[in-house]
Amino acid sequence: MDIHKLIKPLVQKNDSKIVLYVADGLGGLPQAPGGKTELETAQTPHLDKLAREGVLGGSIPVAPGISPGSGPGHLGLFGYDPVEYLIGRGALEATGIGFELQEGDVAIRANFCTLDSGGNISDRRAGRIPSEESAPIAIRLRDVKIPGVTVFVEPVKEHRFVVVLRPDDAKGFGGEVADTDPQATGVPPLAAKALDPSSERTAEVCNEFIKQVRVLLKDEPKANCCTLRGITGKPSIPSFEDVYGLKAAAIAVYPMYKGLASLVGMDVIGDASTLDDQMAVLKDAWNDYDFFFIHFKYTDSTGEDGNFDSKVKRTEEYDSGVPKIMHLQPDVLISTGDHSTPAMLASHSWHPVPTLLWAKHCRSDGAQSFGEQQCLTGGLGQFEAKHLMTLAMANAGRLAKFGA
> Under DSSP, is residue 385 helix (H, G, I), strand (E, B) or coil?
helix
Cβ–Cβ contacts within 10 Å for residue 34, how many?
A: 5
CA quadruple 285, 288, 290, 291: dihedral sign? negative
d(CA 329, CA 333): 9
Strands 291-296 and 18-23 turn out to be parallel
d(CA 77, CA 191): 33
pLDDT of residue 389: 97
pLDDT of residue 88: 80
pLDDT of residue 286: 98
Read off the pTM: 0.80
**pLDDT in tens for each of the 404 residues of the chain?**
678 989 999 999 999 999 999 999 999 999 999 999 999 999 999 999 999 999 999 999 999 999 999 889 999 999 999 999 888 889 888 988 888 888 889 999 999 999 999 999 999 999 999 999 999 999 999 999 999 999 999 999 899 999 999 998 877 788 899 999 999 999 999 999 999 999 999 999 999 999 999 999 999 999 999 999 999 888 888 999 999 999 999 999 988 899 889 989 999 999 999 999 999 999 999 999 999 999 999 999 999 999 999 999 999 999 999 999 999 999 999 999 999 999 999 999 999 999 999 998 899 999 999 999 999 999 999 999 999 999 999 999 999 999 98
pLDDT of residue 184: 95
The phi, psi pair for 319, rounded to 5°, reads: -60, -35
pLDDT of residue 188: 96
d(CA 297, CA 254): 8
261 touches 252 (CB < 8 A): yes
DSSP code per residue over 132-180: HHHHHHHHHGGG--BTTEEEEEEEEETTEEEEEEEESSSS-----B--S
pLDDT of residue 298: 96
Q: How many CA atoms lie within 13 A of 159 on its CB side?
A: 20
Domains in the chain, CATH or no CATH each: 13-87+237-395 (3.40.720.10), 93-233 (no CATH)
The phi, psi pair for 353, rounded to 5°, reads: -95, 130
Helices (H), 298-365: 298-304, 308-320, 322-326
> Under DSSP, is residue 306 helix (H, G, I), strand (E, B) or coil?
coil
d(CA 85, CA 72): 8
pLDDT of residue 1: 67
pLDDT of residue 39: 98
Burial of 118 (0-12, 13-18, 19+ CB in 10 A): exposed
